[in-house]
Structure 1
Amino acid sequence: MNIDDLIKAVIAREGGFGDHPADRGGATRWGITEAVARADGWSGPMRDLPRDRAVAIYRRLYWSRPRLDVVAALAPKLATELFDTAVNMGPAVAIGFLQRALTALNRGGGDYADIAVDGRVGPDTLAALDAFLRRRGRSGEGVLVRAVEALQGERYLTLAEGRPANEAFLYGWLANRVG
């Protein structure tokens, strides 16, 4: 999938306007939270956020700025998973999951050095990803996708355990976001 297809899929999954009382994110339109829309300069009612503005926000904040386009050049399936995770949890969390997985999979530093979990796709993360994929081949990309999904699922459970109101969302998170 390319980024246009990924954004279409997110918008289709997220739907139009929503404002669930248990959602700390508040009102959303096309899956864009009010806080993100306001930070982007949107001042109108969330119900009126244009779809093309949401598309631009997804492309800039959840794909280009976190450098998932660069990840996609090395591992397109992984970039797809990271994009979806970034949309739901934030880019820094998604990239942090990748960094944790890469460090845990480096066989004690024998394949490449541990990397900091800083939530940014920088030269160390890209070098580790490249080294991992060279060492493990294409099947390695699938392992990284599963590792990110596992971390994502664990975070959803923790969120539900820590705030009972989040239990309203747990089934959907696990059904639609993990795997």
Structure 2
Amino acid sequence: MDVDGMIDAVIDREGGYSDHRADRGGATRWGVTEAVARAQGWRGTMRALPRAEAATIYRRLYWTRPRLDDVAARAPLLAAELFDTGVNMGPATAICFLQRALNALNRSGGDYPDMVVDGRVGPATLAALDAFLASRGRAAENVLLKAVEALQGERYVALAERRPANEAFLYGWLANRMGQAGEGA
């Protein structure tokens, strides 16, 4: 699936307008929070945020800026998962999951050196990803995808444990966010 398809899938999954009392993100439309929309220049009401504007925000903030196109050139399923996770948790969190997984899978630095977990795709992250994929063969992307999803799932459970109001969202997060990006990709 290309980035336009991923954006459409996220928007479809997120739905239209929402303002759930337990959601700290407040009013959202197409999954874009009011704070994000305002920071990107939207001045209208959230109920009126056009789908095309949401798509532009998703492309800019959750695909291009975090350099997921560079990840997609190497591992498209992984990039799709990082995009979807980044929409829900923030791109830096998604990329930290990738960096942590790569560090843990490098066989004590035997395949490539550990990197700083900084939430940014840069030369060290891309070099580690290249080395991981080259050293582990055809199944490597799927294994890395599972590691990222495991970290994502643990984070969801921890969020619900720390803030009981988040329990209202845990089932949906696990049902609708885990492994969704790779389907149909």
Normalised by the size of structure 2, how large is the TM-score? 0.96
Partner of 1:156: 156
TM-score (norm. length: structure 1):
0.99
Partner in structure 1 of residue 126 of structure 2: 126
1:83-127 Cα distance to aligned partner (Å, 9 max, x none):
000000000000000000000000000000001100000000000
- Show structure 2 runs of 5+ residues with no match: 180-185
What's the RMSD between the two structures over aligned residues? Answer: 0.5
Q: Deviations over 1:139-174 (max 9, x none)?
A: 110011101100000000000000000000000000
Matches within 5 A, 1:136-175: 136-175=136-175
Residue pairs, 1:20-35, within 5 angstroms: 20-35=20-35
Displacement, 1:44?
Answer: 1.1
| Corresponding residue for residue 43 of structure 1 | 43
Q: Secondary structure at the match of 1:97?
A: helix
Q: Deviations over 1:36-78 (max 9, x none)?
A: 0010011111000111100000001000000000000000000
* SS of corresponding position for 1:138: coil
Contiguous gaps of at least 5 residues in structure 1:
none
Query: Which amino acid is 1:49 matched to?
Result: L
How many angstroms does 1:137 deviate by? 1.8
Indicate yes or no: 2:51 matched with 1:59: no
Aligned counterparts of 2:66 and 2:103: Cα–Cα separation in 1:
19
Given the alignment of the two structures, is residue 88 of structure 1 paired with residue 80 of structure 2, yes or no? Answer: no
Aligned counterparts of 2:7 and 2:14: Cα–Cα separation in 1: 10
- Mapped to 2, the partners of 1:146 and 1:35 lie a distance apart of 31
Partner SS state of residue 139, structure 2: helix
Partner of 1:79: 79
Q: Please give the residue correspondences for 1:10-29 in structure 2 after superposition, counting only pairs within 5 Å.
A: 10-29=10-29
Larger RCO: Structure 1 or Structure 2 (Cα < 8 Å, ≥ 6 residues apart)?
A: 2
The separation in 1 between residues aligned to 2:145 and 2:47, in whole angstroms, is 34
Higher helix share: 1
For 1:116, the aligned partner's letter is V
Cα distance in 1 between the residues matched to 2:75 and 2:125: 13
TM-fit CA distance, 1:138: 2.4
